[in-house]
């Protein structure tokens, strides 16, 4: 597999073309960003941690029956992935109130949301990823109705599976964001599932073990990410 030119450079990851038109190389960099890119920093080891955490979780999801873009772990910070035709939406599930939800509704952080809340956001950095709903998807032709209902169902299934999975390691899955795309007319989980895109709390202390440590300007981000890996018995290569 030959790594070719850069296809897309995001805030924390880069996609490269390969000599196979159906496959891309996804590289996780050491960068981290908050406030829609207004704050950017670098953390040593973060790229390799996120790459291998993402690969581990996506592999678990594949075994559970979710189709994902991952093909092969290529190196410490790179994974070979399918080239998807991505939907321009972000799907968020919230099991507990946190982050923007707390600000929007004035609800106390940690409040149980039962059944979990499903939210949609438009992928549009210039407009700060505004919240949308099924009506927006229809009017702006973002996702076909049949795909959207499958995407919502899949996101809930991923949530149920991962909630139980993390709980076995005494971790609470507070919320997360996922993105999907089409490949061969099938809906495939793309982008990433990492501690940058999900909130995980310690079950007993409710300590945050995710990107909120950075968002809140606290120390110990990488230590927390590594503690999660240790709990899940993920050995870094
Ligand atoms: N999230 C993400 N990318 C975004 C926005 C949110 O991965 O551009 C994730 C975030 O890590 C959290 C969930 O989606 O797990 C809900 O985020 P929220 O809406 O609370 O936004 P935030 O507090 O990050 O601004």
Task: Check residue 17 and give its pLDDT.
Answer: 98
Span 153-175, average pLDDT: 98
For residue 143, the CA-to-ligand 1 centroid distance in Å is 21
Q: How many domains does the chain have?
A: 2
For the Cβ of 109 lying below 6 angstroms from any atom of ligand 1, the answer is: no
What number does the ligand 1 atom closest to the CA of 198 have?
15
Q: Final residue of a domain: which of 24, 56, 82?
A: 82
3-state secondary structure of 91: strand
74 and 10 co-located in one domain: yes
Mutate to test the pocket of ligand 1, among 28, 36, 92 (most ligand atoms within 8 A of CB): 92
- 77 and 102 assigned to the same domain: no
Residue 175 lies in a domain: yes
Query: Are residues 110 and 141 both part of a single domain?
Result: yes
Shortest-distance atom of ligand 1 to CA 102: 20
**Residues 1-10, mean pLDDT to the nearest whole number:** 97
Domain end (from 50, 82, 114): 82
Whether 20 is in a domain gets the answer yes
Q: Does residue 178 have its Cβ closer than 6 Å to ligand 1?
A: no
Reduced 3-state DSSP string for 146-187: HHHHHHHHHHHHHHHHHHHHHHCCCEEEEEEEECEEEECCEE
For ligand 1, whether the C-beta of 129 sits within 6 Å is yes
pLDDT in tens, 56-96: 999 999 999 999 999 999 999 999 999 999 999 999 999 99
Residue 62 and residue 95: Cα distance in Å, rounded? 22
CB 100 near ligand 1, within 6 Å: yes
What number is the average pLDDT over the span 124-147? 97
Please give the distance, rounded to the nearest whole angstrom, from the Cα atom of residue 19 to the centre of ligand 1.
34
Question: Does the residue 40 lie in any domain?
Answer: yes
Do 76 and 171 fall within a single domain?
Answer: no
Question: How far is ligand 1, taken at its centre, from the CA of residue 34, in Å?
Answer: 10
Is residue 68 situated within a structural domain? Answer: yes
Tell me the average pLDDT of the chain: 98
In this prediction the pTM is 0.98
Q: Name the residue range of residue 112's domain.
A: 85-220
Measure the CA–CA gap between 147 and 169, rounded to whole angstroms.
33
pLDDT tens for residues 120-132? 999 999 999 999 9
120 touches ligand 1 (CB under 6 Å):
no
Same-domain check for residues 136 and 164 = yes
Any domain includes 146: yes
- Note whether residue 233 is domain-resident: no
| Domain CATH for 14 | 3.30.200.20
Per-residue pLDDT band for 1 (boundaries 50, 70, 90) equals: confident
DSSP assigned state of 55 = H
Distance 67 CA to ligand 1 centre (A): 23
State the alpha helices, DSSP H only, in the chain: 46-64, 99-105, 134-139, 145-167, 212-215, 221-231
**190 shares a domain with 151:** yes
Atom 24 of ligand 1: nearest residue by CA position = 99
User: What is the DSSP code (8-state) at residue 110?
Assistant: T
Residue 49 shares a structural domain with residue 99: no
């Amino acid at each position: 597999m030959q790594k070719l030119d850069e296809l897309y450079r995001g805030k924390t990851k880069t996609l490269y073309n390969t000599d196979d038109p159906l496959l891309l190389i996804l590289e996780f960099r050491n960068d981290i960003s908050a406030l829609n890119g207004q704050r950017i920093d670098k953390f040593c080891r973060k790229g390799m941690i996120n790459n291998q955490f993402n690969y581990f979780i996506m592999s678990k999801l594949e075994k559970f029956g979710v189709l994902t873009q991952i093909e092969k772990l290529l190196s410490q910070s790179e994974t070979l992935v399918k080239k998807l035709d991505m939907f321009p939406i972000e799907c968020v599930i919230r099991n507990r109130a946190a982050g923007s939800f707390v600000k929007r509704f004035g609800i106390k952080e940690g409040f149980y949301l039962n059944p979990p809340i499903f939210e949609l956001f438009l992928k549009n950095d210039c407009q700060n990823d505004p919240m949308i709903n099924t009506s927006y998807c229809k009017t702006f032709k973002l996702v076909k109705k049949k795909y959207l209902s499958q995407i919502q169902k899949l996101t809930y299934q991923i949530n149920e599976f991962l909630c139980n999975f993390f709980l076995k390691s005494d971790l609470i899955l507070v919320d997360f964001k996922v993105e999907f795309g089409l490949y061969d007319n099938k809906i495939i989980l793309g982008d990433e599932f990492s501690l940058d895109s999900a909130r995980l709390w310690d079950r007993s202390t409710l300590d945050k073990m995710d990107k909120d440590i950075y968002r809140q300007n606290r120390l110990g981000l990488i230590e927390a990410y590594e503690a999660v890996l240790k709990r899940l018995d993920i050995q870094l290569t």
